[in-house]
Amino acid sequence: MDQDKPTDPHIVSLMADGEKLHSIKALGDTPGGKVLVDLLMQDVVAIVYKLQNHPENRDALCTELQVTLALAKLIINSEDSEKVLKEQIEEALRE
């Protein structure tokens, strides 16, 4: 067993989350990732337009808006989120 690797389940979980965030950040840094974010933001504008013109579909459109914004936010904020998570891991390792 590797003694350098943490065994605390909380720290192991944080580190796994860190790997996922790093992958998402890497995606966001690629040209394709930038296109994806741009397309997501275009979708947000289109959904808002639909909400304005078709209030009878409000619930479905609000759900679509929420999901689209969450995905864009995840990609856009991944660098900051990764930094915060690294700080949490470092703090947990000091305890």
pLDDT single digits (tens) 31-54: 999 999 999 999 999 999 999 999
Look at residue 84 and give its three-state secondary structure.
helix
* Largest Cα span, the chain: 61
E-assigned strand segments in the chain? none
pLDDT single digits (tens) 59-74: 999 999 999 999 999 9
The reply to whether the predicted model has a pTM over 0.75 is: yes
Comparing CA positions, the residue from 84, 73, 88, 77 lying closest to residue 25 is: 77
Angle, CA of 21, 69 and 17, to the nearest 5°: 15
